Amino acid sequence: MNDTRIGIPSQKLNDIFKEFVRVDQDNAHNVEGTGLGLAIAKKLISRMGGDLEVVSEENVGSTFKFNLLLENSKVLELPENKTNTPLLDASRTVNNNKRYKVLLAEDNKTNQLVFTSTLKKYPFDISVVGDGVEALALYEKSGADIIFTDISMPHMDGLELVKEIRALEQDKAVSVPIVVLSAVNDPKLFEDAKPLNIDHYMTKPLQKAELLSVIDKLLSATDSRAS
């Protein structure tokens, strides 16, 4: 894989495959990503008996390559979904006559795509923004039935976003459900977030069954309180 972006300084080439290491640590909050992608990729390739390498020149670009020795695989035929309905039911108990507004605050483009693709068949109108500032502005303008926010984003992180939204809701009878997302499975992060009155905490990558279950549970509870 080749890119023609900022490149990597030679003195940092040995560090970029370490967890949570960014080329530009001083500017980490202004660019997307957590510094885990290359570390995960290298570990996966290593476990399969290969190696991931990089050649880079600062201000010119980088080339990443890996080698793997793989056996020919058999083509598997998936069972046909003859009913043309989702394999997993959506919204078991939420109001099936209503479309729900889902707001996602996530700075990673891949995570945005995975989230929207997972929910596209279901009765949700999804709005996606790249940081907490945009999320807060959109929520103030259009509202939301449920909010998902990454914990680490540029300009305003997820926990600060939760604080701002809860401050706006002080005079409201029902508060919007908020789910905090993180690429790190760290119980301390959840403990730090609990006093902010979050409704749920999920670790990425998100699993479809768990995601739908959380949405169903939180929206059903909101509908019950509002009725």
CA–CA gap between residue 208 and residue 214 (Å, rounded): 10
pLDDT at 116: 95
pLDDT at 28: 47
In CATH, which superfamily holds the domain spanning 100-221? Response regulator (3.40.50.2300)
CA–CA gap between residue 173 and residue 225 (Å, rounded): 9
Domain locations along the chain: 2-67, 100-221
pLDDT at 16: 81
CA–CA gap between residue 39 and residue 14 (Å, rounded): 12
pLDDT at 227: 61
What angle is formed at CA 148 by the lines to CA 147 and CA 149, rounded to 5 degrees?
115
pLDDT at 84: 43
pLDDT at 95: 57
| pLDDT by position in tens, the chain (length 227) | 777 777 788 777 778 888 777 666 555 445 555 677 888 888 888 888 888 888 888 878 888 888 888 777 776 665 554 444 443 444 444 556 678 999 999 999 999 999 999 998 888 999 999 999 999 999 999 999 999 999 989 899 999 999 999 999 887 777 899 999 988 877 777 777 778 889 999 998 899 889 999 999 999 888 777 66
2-67: CATH number: 3.30.565.10
pLDDT at 91: 46
Chain centroid to Cα 66, Å, comes to 26
User: In sequence order, what are the residues at sequence separation of 6 or more whose Cβ sits closer than 8 angstroms to the Cβ of residue 166?
Assistant: 175, 196, 197
pLDDT at 60: 84
Helix/strand/coil percentages in the chain, nearest 5 = 35, 20, 45
pLDDT at 31: 53
CA–CA gap between residue 222 and residue 227 (Å, rounded): 9
> Around Cβ 221, how many Cβ atoms within 10 Å?
15
Q: Tell me the HSE value of 82 on the side-chain side, using a 13 A CA sphere.
A: 1
